[in-house]
Amino acid sequence: MNFLYNFQNGDNSRKSIWRNHSTFKYRQSFRHTPLFHILLFFFVIILSSCVLKPAHSSETPPLPTSHLDPQNVTPHTTTIAPIQNPREAIQTINTEIPPLAKKPHKLRLIHFNDVYQVNQLRQEGGFANLKTMIKNLKAEAAAQEDFSALTIFSGDFLPASFSTIPLDAKTMLKFLDALEVDYATIGNHDIDVPKMPEMRDLLIQSNMKFITTNVLWKEENQTATVPTTYFGGSRFATVSVGSWRVGIIGVLTKSTLRESPRVSKEKRLRITDEISAVKNATKELYEKFKCDSVIVISHLSHREDVALARAVPGITVILGGHDHYPITVMEGGTQEGTLIHKSGMNGQLLAAIDLSFETAPRDHTSPRIFKEWKMLNSHFYPPDEDYLDMLNTFEKSMLDESPVIGKTLTMLDSLAENVRRKETSMGNLVCDVLRDRTRSDVCLIPGGSLRGNRILYPQTSVRESTILSEFPFHNHIVVVKLTASELFQVLEHGLTALDLKGSGRFPQVSGIKFRYDPHAPPFNRIVSLETDLGEEISRCSNSTEVTYTLAIPDFCLHGGDGYGSVLSDKPVLYEKRELISAMVIDWIKQKHCISPTLEGRIVEVRNEAQRRKHLKNEL
């Protein structure tokens, strides 16, 4: 017999007891009847519906079609009527949709920079070969799932030539468009042109999207004092890469204002500080446009690229130009750092940089970007046949229009790596012509002003286009008077950038000979200096009467290549308004046969102690 006890106040007496044993037995047996189970079933159903049903039922709207682009998904919440009873709050349901997980994706950046020669040179470079390489790299990406590709150009396509034919901006942009370049920025030479408004129009009309984040332009109808439009047409760009979004910025070195008199005098052009411009654009791309990565297309020196990477966090890759040698550096040393890359010049090398976008652990929306890269040499790739046919047709039509003006009996060397580092036969020829035409004591031209970048072998015909392609900047010559110490300063300035490969200020000369030590401190590198007649010129001459007339390109007098620091206050004795190229062409026509040689005008000597110290510093 079971009893039910109720103990209160410590009372152990039985307050309630099943007194009827038969009643207890009946109730115990009812739990085993079918009726009990049926009633229990309906009771559970009713109870479940009351507990699980929302207080305010509303149909959840379907997922918007914009879910294909996670950036377009907006949180969705059901509409709930005002709650009269606070206790009903526990029954409201929030249906906010979390951000969609992003799918891994790869982006291939195909990069080149600083192209001045359309045809091949010494079995390297050439736009037809570049076309083959770009097509192959894009096809390789297209053959794989979730793999995109962009072709990037980092500026300086002027001055340009094809074989011995100088090319204008319109023709060069046509050749670049045929390479199917997606995004580009401008170089310092691209805006150093007589007609900047026409150049800007050409950039905007190009199939390439030119981005000039820190180069602004004031339209004629603008009333604002500060320019509000961008020289290339765009401040930045965004591109979708699978479910990821990438921002693209383009910058030009501000030193263009200092080194190019024509650019510095243009009142409608403004070049702002590159670090500030990139910092502001990067912040906006991440915060406003919700980008997952930012790529910078730069035309800066390597030192400026490094400074930019250190000053602006969040840059994934800096694709650079301006320097004419290849370099790849991971600033920061890890995959989270900024990759800085340059591809040399003239398309001799082409870069393929692959960015792998993956989601971070436990966070399916934040990116982890892994980088890998390779360099392709154009020597190993055949030219694209269609592109080559286009170039050959163009060359034939242009050569028929360019007359032969003479013949060289010796090798004429104007290779960029030579005219910017040592004495060359083309440099000697040009300086001799200019010194003869101006009747000056000494002539100096920066090696970078010779832009042909070619070798003409003995017994080769010299065409008018050959000389025109050497001097695409339309400069003329001026004559100034210098003392011996001032002449030393001018030459020493030309030797200050020996550690910067590809610097254009290295002097090509006539009327003097000098020996220099490249490892000595700047402005103390000339070991000896003498005239072409063998008369020694002393650095510390006390005689103020000894002066020399110097013929030099006008752009140097106005600050080009930094020569303004030692020449800007010198009065002009004589100015030859005839173009340098015209003077050289006329001189070759008169001589017909030319035979310039190396004469030991510039000799590099090495002090062993200085050399060891220099090597130690490099290590």
Question: Does the pLDDT of residue 5 top 70, yes or no?
Answer: no
pLDDT, mean of residues 136-153: 95
Domain boundary (387, 422, 445) is at: 387
3-class DSSP state for residue 234?
A: strand
Comparing 9-18, 326-335, 532-541, the range with the smallest average pLDDT is: 9-18
List residues bridging with 407 in a β-sheet. 461, 593
Q: For the chain, percent helix, then strand, then coil, each to nearest 5?
A: 35, 25, 40
Domain boundary (339, 359, 387) is at: 387
How many CB atoms within 10 Å of residue 237? 18
Report the pLDDT value the prediction gives residue 613, as an integer from 0 to 100: 54
CA atoms within 13 A on the CB side of 133: 27
d(CA 156, CA 187): 4
Question: Does the pLDDT of residue 564 top 90, yes or no?
Answer: no
Distances (CA, A) of 460 to 451, 463, 482, 581, 597: 19, 10, 39, 19, 15
Check: CB of residue 149 under 8 Å from CB of residue 241: no
pLDDT, mean of residues 518-523: 92
In sequence order, what are the residues at sequence separation of 6 or more whose Cβ sits closer than 8 angstroms to the Cβ of residue 377?
A: 124, 348, 349
H/E element holding 387? helix 385-399
Cis? peptide before 159, omega within 30° of 0 = yes
Q: At what angle do helices 385-399 and 127-142 cross, to 10 degrees?
A: 160
Report the pLDDT value the prediction gives residue 471, as an integer from 0 to 100: 86
Beta strands in 15-146 (DSSP E): 105-112
Report the pLDDT value the prediction gives residue 559, as an integer from 0 to 100: 84
How many CB atoms within 10 Å of residue 394? 18
What are residue 159's phi and psi, to 5 degrees?
A: -75, 150
Report the pLDDT value the prediction gives residue 588, as an integer from 0 to 100: 95
Quick one: 250 and 372 in the same domain? yes
pLDDT, mean of residues 374-383: 93
Report the pLDDT value the prediction gives residue 481, as an integer from 0 to 100: 93
Q: At what angle do helices 425-438 and 580-591 cross, to 10 degrees?
A: 100
Q: What single-letter amino acid sits at 400?
A: D
Residue predicted with more confidence, 266 or 184: 184
526 in any annotated domain: yes
555 in any annotated domain: yes
593 in any annotated domain: yes
d(CA 551, CA 461): 28
d(CA 356, CA 376): 20
Residue predicted with more confidence, 99 or 550: 550
Quick one: 68 and 170 in the same domain? no
Kindly state the percentage of the chain with pLDDT values over 70: 80
Report the pLDDT value the prediction gives residue 164, as an integer from 0 to 100: 59
11 in any annotated domain: no
12 — pLDDT class (breaks 50, 70, 90):
very low
Report the pLDDT value the prediction gives residue 96, as an integer from 0 to 100: 40
Q: At what angle do helices 169-178 and 385-399 cross, to 10 degrees?
A: 160
Give the CATH number, domain containing residue 509.
Answer: 3.90.780.10
Report the pLDDT value the prediction gives residue 266, as an integer from 0 to 100: 87
316 in any annotated domain: yes
Question: Does the pLDDT of residue 429 top 70, yes or no?
Answer: yes
Quick one: 278 and 363 in the same domain? yes
Q: Taking Cα atoms as reference points, which of 424, 504, 427 lies closest to residue 159?
A: 504
Q: 349-360 and 105-112 as β-strands: parallel, antiparallel, unpaired?
A: antiparallel
Report the pLDDT value the prediction gives residue 80, as an integer from 0 to 100: 32
How many CB atoms within 10 Å of residue 42? 9
609 — pLDDT class (breaks 50, 70, 90):
low
Return the exposure string of 286-313: e unless at least 16 CB atoms fall within 10 Å of the residue's CB, then b. beeeebbbbbbbbbbbbebbbebbeebe
pLDDT, mean of residues 162-174: 80
417-428 pLDDT tens trace? 899 999 999 999
Question: Does the pLDDT of residue 3 top 50, yes or no?
Answer: no
Report the pLDDT value the prediction gives residue 516, as an integer from 0 to 100: 96
List residues bridging with 442 in a β-sheet. 550
Tokens of 573: 């004795």
Q: At what angle do helices 169-178 and 127-142 cross, to 10 degrees?
A: 30
Alpha carbon of residue 333 to chain centroid: 20
Comparing 19-28, 101-110, 327-336, 379-388, the range with the smallest average pLDDT is: 19-28
Quick one: 319 and 208 in the same domain? yes
d(CA 341, CA 349): 12
77 — pLDDT class (breaks 50, 70, 90):
very low
pLDDT, mean of residues 278-299: 96
97 in any annotated domain: no
What are residue 572's phi and psi, to 5 degrees?
A: -85, 120
Domains in the chain: how many in total? 3
Comparing 85-99, 258-272, 601-615, the range with the smallest average pLDDT is: 85-99
Quick one: 462 and 321 in the same domain? no
536 in any annotated domain: yes
Q: What single-letter amino acid sits at 534?
A: G
d(CA 554, CA 490): 14
H/E element holding 554? helix 554-557
Q: What single-letter amino acid sits at 467?
A: I
Report the pLDDT value the prediction gives residue 233, as an integer from 0 to 100: 86
Report the pLDDT value the prediction gives residue 247, as an integer from 0 to 100: 97
Kindly state the percentage of the chain with pLDDT values over 90: 54
Quick one: 324 and 410 in the same domain? no
pLDDT, mean of residues 104-108: 95
Dump the DSSP string for 118-130.
Answer: SS-BTTB--HHHH
98 — pLDDT class (breaks 50, 70, 90):
very low
List residues bridging with 547 in a β-sheet. 483
Quick one: 492 and 552 in the same domain? yes
Report the pLDDT value the prediction gives residue 607, as an integer from 0 to 100: 67
Quick one: 371 and 488 in the same domain? no
Question: Does the pLDDT of residue 21 top 90, yes or no?
Answer: no
Give the CATH number, domain containing residue 329.
Answer: 3.60.21.10
Name the residue range of residue 340's domain.
Answer: 105-387
Tokens of 295: 């790529």
225 — pLDDT class (breaks 50, 70, 90):
low
pLDDT, mean of residues 346-353: 94
Q: Radius of gyration (Cα) for the chain, nearest Å?
A: 38
d(CA 415, CA 412): 9
Mean pLDDT across the chain, nearest whole number?
82
475 — pLDDT class (breaks 50, 70, 90):
confident
Residue predicted with more confidence, 319 or 36: 319
Q: What single-letter amino acid sits at 460?
A: T
393 in any annotated domain: no
Tell me the H-state helices in 267-332. 274-287, 302-311
Quick one: 506 and 583 in the same domain? yes
How many CB atoms within 10 Å of residue 79? 7
565 — pLDDT class (breaks 50, 70, 90):
confident
Domain boundary (387, 421, 451) is at: 387
Quick one: 340 and 487 in the same domain? no
Check: CB of residue 218 under 8 Å from CB of residue 196: no
Report the helix count and the strand count for the chain, using DSSP H and E.
Answer: 18, 30
Quick one: 546 and 572 in the same domain? yes
Query: What pTM was computed for the model?
Result: 0.62
What are residue 383's phi and psi, to 5 degrees?
A: -70, 150
178-216 pLDDT tens trace? 999 999 999 999 998 888 999 999 999 999 999 999 999
Tokens of 601: 């005008």
Q: 547-553 and 147-153 as β-strands: parallel, antiparallel, unpaired?
A: unpaired
Distances (CA, A) of 479 to 506, 557, 563: 19, 10, 14
Alpha carbon of residue 383 to chain centroid: 25
Quick one: 180 and 279 in the same domain? yes
